[in-house]
Chain A
């Protein structure tokens, strides 16, 4: 059996706080995770506290205003952490990558993980936008009920999302996947507005979404290359059966 190659997590300024949330956003259906987490990081003025590297990831760095940034970064404000990836998480490294984050949660005593994602719907009508919750823990079920977030009842989950759920379940770290209906193959910032509003309710914070709503068209163009790269990276997963297999109970 091959030795696991865990991604290295570099922490620079992390405090231990009693109850802690981790928000995790990576490119996927409609780039919902990317839009939602990056907007919250900006809106809450979260502080960059570290980054994540993996030896099997293509070496990539971004430079913004002269500052070198890793594509996968950790932010913090008070009891909320956020990890955002600006590059697709390739299926080959997803398991190690998510296990590294679970280890980070244990070390940092993070006891709530929330992951916004997108779910394919045939309708592109904005009136149909809804966020569904899938929890691995009773405490999150209660939070969903209190905040009128409907339960994700049935469907198949593949790829990195499935890896996230299985990993956090195995590590016994409470996880809430938030699935917002979206166009899966085009950037969908409009749908991410619904995701941001639902996430704000979970975190008990106020978030003004007017800025993202003003820039919907620009965000779609700005993120089209990331969407294409994400589809290219995840294309083999999309060819798996999308219908729910019969489950005998």
Chain B
């Protein structure tokens, strides 16, 4: 199953708000998508022009998974006489609550960062009569 990331779903429902590249901060908004499995979420980020050593992934106190990556060279977006320069990728995704945060893993291959977030099942046992 493929769905849009939660962060974008929340923001895109608001009129006139759309996440985009930040010229002032020289920051690109990377493409991402997630697949849901019974036991885990798998989130992929497309990070071209990036080396593994320059990627920083962390889960903040609000439960937002943040991916930051420095480009190995400045990306210049030329439109006519206007040039915009970008040096980073950055994106935050709000994770659901039922996750096993200690066992989140990540790998980087062919410019795609794949983050696996295991689900955590806990609760009250229900007897079957």
Contact = CB atoms under 8 A, between A and B. Distances in A.
Interface stretch (B25-33, B62-70, B93-101, B115-123): B25-33
B111 interface: yes
Contacts of A224: 28, 30-31, 46
A183 B48 CA distance: 14
B41 interface: no
Interface stretch (A3-11, A105-113, A212-220): A212-220
Contacts of A238: 2
Given A124-B109, A124-B110, A186-B112, A218 B31 contact: no
Interface residues on B, range: 10 to 19
A221 B110 contact: no
B49 interface: yes
A90 B48 CA distance: 28
A126 interface: yes
7 contacts: A124-B109, A185-B2, A186-B44, A190-B110, A218-B75, A224-B31, A231-B33
Interface string A213-241: 00011101110100110010001001000
Contacts of B33: 185, 231
Interface string B12-54: 0000000000000000101101000000000010101100000
Contacts, number: 43
Nearest to A189: B48
A52 to B, nearest CB: 24
Contacts of A221: 28, 48-49, 75, 86
A218 B2 CA distance: 26
A186 B75 contact: no
A87 to B, nearest CB: 17
Contact of A126 (B30, B31, B110): B110
B97 to A, nearest CB: 25
A157 B69 CA distance: 36
Interface string A183-211: 10111001000000000000000000000
Contacts of A216: 48
Nearest to B1: A239
Contacts of B28: 221, 224
